[in-house]
């Protein structure tokens, strides 16, 4: 007997609150007696660190945290009377399909023991932080010793000659936290960005002409150069972002950059270079060992700009808005997972904006280029909103889809689930499930004999 899993949207990155629909396909080479079919959604992280504080040897520590475990009994059906006996199903030769629906929870629930060090650390953080935790993002090969994986486990229990057997199958799925930004925030104009980070810089101007004094009263042609200190231009660089300094994956950097003149200065101020860098940190804690891994990605890098910021005659207090074309069209890389914090693991980011300023005076004299860095923590959101639609009523039915994958072979489709729902149209699943929540008792699913006797296009009625 072979067991396989077929998802309605296998390439989709799911979010918390969504329902994962799919089918369990059982290939029976002969008659099989099935006593139970269970589908489970599992989310867990595996953290591995090497403690090098020992004198003679290194000590490798590993922790596994399970924060999602949702189960659904596909068969036997739940809506049966208490007096009726739940007899095992007998599946004949061929393919048999059972569909399931597993909902991704809204928040994680870690399985750490209450007296473990991780549990005490989380309790302390929860009292000091008001931010609600989100589901960890699926993460693999992004940081050494860190894996965050979600999977769907299928267990099929069979009975043969008085012995019980269990056949298991698993399929990995990607899950990211939902983007909680409101539409009004996403469409907010740059002038209204509330999160502001600023830094002040002092730019050295071009060297002044040296002053000369006679070194000897008897020889006026001989002179000594007296060094003088060049004046400095004072500026304030401010960067404005969306609330919580949020940046969205696969979208243009939402930022407003301004420069303010703080003191009178006789030379022009130019912007010579511009660079934007995203730095990612993975904080890992296993037992008493802690580690931070860092990675960086260059979003934009420009040089030799010669962009005029303030002319010499500009008044003090004037604000110059930096042209957003310097970073327009540049998006966050797709492999950057959203920010999250969970048991023993945190993924966080910082955005670094580096600008090279230069003062230029008369006759083309210029001072040294001063590199100014503005660095701020940012939150990366998934960009996946709850209003997206994964299922369309115009799609083909489940049975037709699975049959085509199996080469058009015979397929028996079972519509009963743990909630007693069974629909051929995937687009109607969520709608009918919501309708059922207001009813008292669903119609009982068909028996095996009734399901086998139905033709593919026939509807069952009781």
- Tell me if 214 is assigned to some domain: no
C-alpha 271/C-alpha 369 separation (Å) is 9
Q: Which residue has the tokens 């069974």?
A: 422
Is 212 part of a structural domain of the chain? Answer: no
- The whole-number pLDDT of residue 321 equals 96
Nearest alpha-carbon partner for 237 in 306, 351, 321:
321
Q: Are 280 and 377 in contact (CB under 8 A)?
A: no
Same domain (yes/no): 416, 377: no
Is residue 200 located within the same domain as residue 326? yes
Same domain? For 161 and 308 the reply is no
Enclosing domain of residue 370: 183-207+229-381
What number of CA atoms fall less than 13 Å from residue 116's CA on the CB side? 16
330 and 268 both lie in a single domain: yes
- Count the alpha carbons within 13 Å of 258 in the hemisphere toward its beta carbon: 17
- Do 53 and 140 lie in a common domain? yes
Q: What is the pLDDT confidence band of residue 403, given thresholds at 50, 70 and 90?
A: very low
In the predicted model, what is the mean pLDDT of residues 144-164?
A: 92
Average pLDDT, the chain: 78
Q: In this structure, what token pair is assigned to residue 107?
A: 């928040």
The encoded tokens of residue 266 equal: 């006789």
Residue 360 clears pLDDT 70, i.e. is over it: yes
Q: Is pLDDT of 397 > 50?
A: no
| Secondary structure (3-state) at 331 | strand
What's the confidence (pLDDT) of residue 432?
40
- Averaged over 81-94, what is the pLDDT? 73
Identify the band that residue 407 occupies on the pLDDT scale cut at 50, 70 and 90. Answer: very low
pLDDT digits (tens, 9 = 90+) for 43-59: 999 999 987 766 667 77
Whether residue 241 lies inside any domain: the answer is: yes
Average pLDDT over residues 291-312: 93
Q: Is residue 106 over pLDDT 50?
A: yes
Q: What confidence score (pLDDT) does residue 364 get?
A: 74
Domain end point (choices 360, 381, 402): 381
pLDDT value of position 390? 65
Q: Is residue 217 part of a domain?
A: no
pLDDT: which is higher, 141 or 6: 6
The sign of the dihedral angle between the CA atoms of 131, 133, 135, 138 is positive
| Mean pLDDT of the region 343-366 | 90
Least confident of 8-17, 94-103, 109-118, 391-400: 391-400
Whole-model pTM? Answer: 0.74
* Structural domain includes residue 216: no
> Same domain, yes or no, for 439 and 360?
no
Residue with tokens 């090969």: 141
**Taking CA 423 as the corner, what is the angle to CA 421 and CA 425, rounded to the nearest 5 degrees?**
150
pLDDT band per the 50, 70, 90 thresholds, residue 292: very high
Cα 198 to Cα 326: distance, rounded to the nearest angstrom? 19
Report the CATH number at residue 174.
2.60.40.640
Note the pLDDT of residue 462: 46
In a domain, 69, yes or no: yes
Residue 166, helix vs strand vs coil: strand
Closest to 319 measured CA to CA, from 204, 435, 240: 240
Residue 238's region, left for phi above 0, alpha for psi from -120 to 50, else beta, is beta
Read off the DSSP letter of residue 303.
-
Lowest mean pLDDT among 122-126, 288-292, 367-371, 389-393: 122-126
- pLDDT tens digits along 239-266: 999 999 999 988 889 999 999 999 998 8
Write down which residue in 381, 404, 434 finishes a domain: 381
Kindly state whether residues 31 and 166 are assigned to the same domain: yes
Count the domains in the chain.
2
Q: Are residues 156 and 194 in the same domain?
A: no
Residue 460 lies in a domain: no
Copy the structure tokens of residue 52.
């090098």
Strands 195-204 and 289-302, by their bridges, are unpaired
Is the pLDDT score of 114 beyond 80? Answer: no
pLDDT of residue 36: 92
Question: 282 with 391, same domain?
Answer: no
Q: With 0-12 CB in 10 A as exposed, 13-18 as middle and 19+ as buried, what is 319?
A: exposed
Are residues 133 and 261 part of one domain? no
Let me know whether 322 and 436 are in one domain. no
pLDDT digits (tens, 9 = 90+) for 408-457: 445 555 544 333 333 334 444 444 444 333 333 334 444 445 444 444 44
Domain boundary among 381, 400, 428: 381
Q: What is the CATH number of the domain that holds 282?
A: 2.60.40
Q: Are residues 326 and 410 in the same domain?
A: no
Q: Does 238 fall in a domain?
A: yes
Q: How many helices (H) and strands (E) does the chain have?
A: 5, 24
């Amino acid at each position: 007997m072979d067991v396989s899993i077929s998802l309605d949207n296998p390439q989709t990155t799911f979010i918390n609150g969504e329902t994962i629909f799919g089918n369990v396909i059982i290939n029976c080479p002969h008659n099989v007696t099935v006593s139970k079919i269970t589908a489970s959604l599992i989310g867990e992280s595996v953290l591995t660190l090497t403690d090098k504080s020992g004198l003679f040897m290194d000590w490798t520590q590993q922790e596994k945290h399970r924060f999602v475990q949702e189960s659904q009994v596909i068969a036997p059906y739940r809506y049966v009377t208490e007096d009726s006996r739940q007899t095992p199903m007998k599946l004949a030769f061929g393919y048999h399909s059972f569909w399931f629906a597993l909902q991704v929870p809204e928040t994680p629930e870690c399985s750490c023991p209450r007296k473990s060090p991780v549990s005490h650390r989380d309790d302390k953080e929860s009292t000091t932080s008001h931010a609600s935790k989100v589901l960890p993002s699926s993460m693999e090969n992004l940081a050494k010793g860190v894996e965050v994986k979600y999977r769907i486990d299928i267990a099929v229990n069979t009975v043969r000659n008085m012995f019980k057997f269990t056949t298991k199958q698993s399929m990995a799925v990607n899950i990211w936290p939902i983007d909680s930004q409101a539409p009004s925030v996403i469409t907010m104009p740059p002038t209204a960005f509330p999160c502001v980070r600023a830094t002040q810089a002092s730019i050295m101007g071009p060297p002044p002409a040296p002053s000369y004094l006679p070194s000897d009263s008897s020889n006026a042609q001989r002179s000594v150069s007296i060094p003088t200190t060049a004046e400095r231009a004072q500026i304030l660089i401010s960067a404005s972002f969306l609330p919580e300094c949020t940046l969205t994956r696969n979208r243009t950097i939402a930022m407003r950059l301004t420069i303010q003149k703080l003191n009178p200065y006789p030379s022009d101020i130019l912007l010579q270079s511009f660079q934007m860098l995203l730095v990612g940190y993975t904080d890992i804690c296993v037992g008493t060992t802690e580690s931070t891994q860092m990675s960086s990605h260059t979003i934009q890098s420009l040089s030799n700009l010669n962009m005029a910021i303030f002319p010499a005659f500009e008044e003090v207090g004037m604000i110059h808005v930096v042209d957003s074309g310097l970073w327009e069209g540049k998006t966050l890389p797709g492999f950057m997972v959203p920010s999250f914090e969970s048991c023993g693991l945190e993924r966080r980011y910082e955005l670094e904006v580096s600008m090279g300023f230069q003062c230029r005076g008369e006759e083309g004299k210029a001072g040294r280029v001063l590199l100014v860095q503005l660095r701020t923590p940012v939150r990366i959101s998934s960009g996946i909103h709850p209003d997206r639609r994964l299922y369309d009523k115009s799609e083909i039915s489940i049975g037709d889809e699975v049959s085509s994958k199996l080469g058009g072979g015979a397929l028996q489709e079972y519509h009963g689930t743990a909630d007693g729902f069974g629909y051929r149209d995937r687009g109607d699943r969520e709608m009918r499930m919501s309708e059922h929540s207001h009813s008292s008792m669903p119609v009982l699913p068909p028996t095996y004999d009734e399901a086998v006797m139905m033709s593919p296009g026939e509807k069952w009625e009781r």
